[in-house]
């Protein structure tokens, strides 16, 4: 997963494909539970969807801009716009369901 920061964030979310951003922090246990799920799905979607992560402790301005109060928060972007989001660690099937919902929105 690509590591995002204040320098590359805007460029990375403004793409013509679904970009999934995991807002996380090192100390967050649910974040550590969600990370392997997202890494597995990144392989499964094989470039159809882009996966990235942003450390909220290191990038508080961006976290604040998107109203991140609880982590992990996952926000899905398409051409810079928020398409879907969820908060908390979820099982793979639930995460995949959220990704599919977002893909349906952008292909409609």
What residues are annotated to the active site?
28, 31
- Alpha-helix residue ranges (DSSP H) falling in 1-108: 9-13, 29-45, 60-65, 92-107
Max Cα separation, the chain? 38
Token pair, residue 20, equals: 């999934």
Is residue 53 within 8 A of residue 21, CB to CB? The reply is yes
Q: Which of 66, 21, 62, 14 is nearest to 42 (CA)?
A: 21
């Amino acid at each position: 997963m690509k590591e995002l920061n204040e320098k590359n964030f805007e460029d990375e979310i403004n793409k013509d494909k679904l970009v999934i951003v995991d807002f996380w922090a090192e100390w967050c246990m649910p974040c550590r539970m969600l990370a392997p799920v997202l890494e597995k799905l990144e392989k499964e979607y094989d470039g159809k969807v882009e996966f990235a992560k942003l450390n909220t402790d290191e990038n508080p301005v961006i976290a604040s801009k998107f109203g991140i109060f609880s982590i992990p928060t996952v926000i899905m972007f398409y051409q810079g716009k928020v398409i879907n989001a969820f908060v908390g660690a979820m099982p793979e099937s639930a995460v995949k369901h959220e990704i599919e919902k977002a893909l349906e929105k952008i292909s409609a």
